[in-house]
Amino acid sequence: MTDINKAFKVKHGIEIATIAEALTTSTTTGTGKLITIAETSKLAYYSTTASAWRYVGTEAVVYTPPAASYSIQYLVVAGGGGGDHAGGGAGGYTTGTYTINPSATLTVTVGGGGAGGSLADAVAGVDSTITILTTSTGGGYGGTDAYGTRINGGNGGSGGGASYNGTGGTAVGGQGNAGGNGYSGFPYTSGGGGGAGAAGQAGQVSHAGDGGNGKTWFNGTTYAGGGGACYQSNDASPPGAGGSGGGGAGGPNVTQGYNGTANTGGGGGGGASAVGGNGGSGVVIIRYSGGTVGSGGTITSAGGFTYHTFTGSGTYTA
């Protein structure tokens, strides 16, 4: 070991690397070593605070290594379907992992919830997307009463529930579950909307169908619950409960169904002889390990991860 190497090791606790290691892949993050810059014959070290090589003494930056690609995890939830007599289906629930390069951009679109129905039919939820990665499909609408033309539930990320003797809507594979069927006899209860974690319950003799439960993501929040249903006749059969994850409950007696919770993709609850609840808007979340690297959305941190939450459309920049 040379005298200068010994001196730097005593003072700084680091050793001089060989000139062959200068600015190569093996030393671009060579913490704990000094290198000799061939062009200037000066010593440099890697600064972990600046993420760059600096000259010893002057602290001038010699070289900044390019940022490395990193892994992100994402959640994409579409808008929930509107309730009518039956509960609306939850918005599609999609997750995944992707390796992204520094400065790359991802366009995020967050879908709105579908309007509840009464005199007008209920409306399906709107898709949510991350460009080049995935699209989650909006939740299916809830079926209308026996006098309407759409007693079957609408298809969607999760299917809408059906009224009377109709059939619940189907779900997109991997995004949700089917809506519940209607009960064809008295008291003509409707089915609950499907959720990301479970199918909507069919209409029962004792009560209207409950919405299917949603799923819980890494942040501990549950999303994409189906809307609870109501009954068709004017007796006092209990309405269905909304599924966990923002599903709106069915309206009691002749009151309006409850809306799905905003930014959960919950389906709207059904309303007997009144307006069904609106579906909840969707949400997109991107997370990665460590401190903040990217930009876009509302940025929070928890458990060693950084979260970018989009409650409206925007852009994520890596």
pLDDT at 236: 61
pLDDT at 65: 66
pLDDT at 20: 34
Using the predicted structure, report yes or no on whether residue 29 has a pLDDT greater than 50. no
Find the mean pLDDT for residues 90-96. 98
pLDDT at 186: 83
Find the mean pLDDT for residues 18-28. 38
Find the mean pLDDT for residues 84-101. 97
pLDDT at 16: 42
pLDDT at 80: 98
Using the predicted structure, report yes or no on whether residue 83 has a pLDDT greater than 80. yes
**For 62-76, 129-143, 210-224, 283-297, which range has the lowest pLDDT when averaged over its residues?**
62-76
Average pLDDT, the chain: 86
pTM as predicted:
0.82
Between CA 180 and CA 151 the distance in angstroms is 12
pLDDT at 57: 72
pLDDT at 6: 43
Bigger pLDDT: 47 vs 21:
47
What is the percentage of the chain residues whose pLDDT exceeds 90? 65
